[in-house]
């Protein structure tokens, strides 16, 4: 696997660990009943939206990197350690889409009053997409990571709508259409590759649940008012998620949120 430390980044990029962000003392003092800071009528909303846009920008770079790696890391073929040529073609198409999304995210960042490097980069998306098994790679990248992109874009699109920003709304709407396609490719390939191997499919779906729990970022994604990003159920259905899978995802997000709150409570108790 290509080591995360060697990804191409210039001096504008600053990295931080995801756990440092979740357990940041400024967040641990946040009231539980507080609404999401992406609610337009609260004072932090513009900065929260800029931070999320920067997160989308680095997420797009990492999505480009992992989709591109899938074309390169596996020999072409039908075997267990190989990736079929048509799958690689889909990943190449996705890389092209993600490159375009990176450009759009940079322009949207300028539009929203921020710039590359104003916020830190976390590389968990890339790291979760570094599995040596092609099917686990596919579920990690095209079902978990790209699924998260659907939820985030849907949230940002709604934010553009409520704040009456047609540029933001339009861009998010179009990128959302691409992300639904990326998840649909993942859903279709997962079914195709594991058609005669129920054990392998089961293992892949378990791996996806583990990654989805990580990608709920301790309450960043969930169904409550205070979770900034909600599950985009309709778009997930369009992308091949069953209702049962969506319900499972709701439970995983709630678990991740409860665990993060317990860690924060422990951190507060320890500092007191």
Query: Which positions lie near Fe ion, rule CB under 5 A?
Result: 60, 63, 98, 101, 146, 179, 182
Nearest 5°: phi and psi at 17? -85, 145
Minimum gap (Å) between residue 54 Cβ and Fe ion: 14
Q: Is the four-CA dihedral 148, 151, 157, 158 of positive or negative sign?
A: negative
Q: Which two tokens stand for residue 253?
A: 């997000």
Minimum gap (Å) between residue 190 Cβ and Fe ion: 16
Minimum gap (Å) between residue 149 Cβ and Fe ion: 5
Closest CA to 69 of 145, 151, 2, 154: 2
Q: Which is nearer to Fe ion, 98 or 151 (CB)?
A: 98
222 and 216 Cβ atoms separated by less than 8 Å = yes
Minimum gap (Å) between residue 145 Cβ and Fe ion: 8
DSSP conformation class of 36: P
- Please tell me the distance from the alpha carbon of residue 253 to that of residue 149, in angstroms, as a whole number: 15
Nearest 5°: phi and psi at 76? -80, 130
Minimum gap (Å) between residue 104 Cβ and Fe ion: 9
The residue to which tokens 């579920």 are assigned: 139
Q: Which is nearer to Fe ion, 184 or 200 (CB)?
A: 184
Q: Which is nearer to Fe ion, 49 or 260 (CB)?
A: 49
Q: Which is nearer to Fe ion, 149 or 260 (CB)?
A: 149
Minimum gap (Å) between residue 101 Cβ and Fe ion: 4
Q: Which is nearer to Fe ion, 129 or 218 (CB)?
A: 129
CA angle 189, 182, 168 (to 5 degrees): 170
Q: Which is nearer to Fe ion, 45 or 104 (CB)?
A: 104
60 and 113 Cβ atoms separated by less than 8 Å = no
């Amino acid at each position: 696997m290509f080591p995360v430390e060697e990804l191409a980044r210039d001096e504008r990029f600053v990295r931080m660990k995801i756990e440092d962000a979740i357990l940041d003392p400024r967040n641990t003092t946040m009231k539980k009943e507080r609404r999401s800071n992406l609610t337009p009528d609260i004072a932090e909303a513009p900065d929260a939206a800029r931070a999320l846009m920067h997160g989308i920008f680095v997420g797009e770079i990492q999505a480009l990197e992992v989709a591109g790696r899938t074309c390169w890391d596996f020999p072409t073929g039908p075997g267990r350690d190989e990736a079929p040529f048509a799958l690689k073609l889909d990943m190449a198409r996705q890389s092209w889409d993600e490159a375009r999304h990176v450009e759009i995210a940079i322009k949207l960042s300028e539009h929203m009053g921020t710039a590359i490097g104003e916020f830190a980069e976390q590389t968990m998306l890339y790291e979760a997409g570094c599995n040596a098994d092609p099917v686990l790679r596919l579920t990690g990248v095209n079902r978990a990571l790209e699924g998260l992109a659907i939820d985030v874009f849907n949230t940002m699109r709604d934010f553009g709508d409520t704040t009456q920003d047609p540029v933001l709304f339009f861009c998010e709407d179009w990128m959302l259409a691409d992300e639904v396609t990326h998840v649909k490719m993942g859903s279709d390939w997962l079914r195709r590759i594991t058609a005669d191997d129920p054990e392998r499919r089961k293992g892949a779906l378990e791996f996806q649940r583990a990654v989805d729990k990580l990608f709920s970022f301790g309450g960043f994604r969930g169904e409550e008012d205070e979770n900034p990003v909600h599950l985009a159920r309709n778009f997930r259905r369009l992308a091949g998620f069953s209702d049962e899978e969506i319900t499972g995802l709701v439970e995983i997000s709630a678990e991740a949120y409860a665990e993060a709150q317990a860690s924060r409570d422990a951190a507060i108790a320890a500092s007191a």
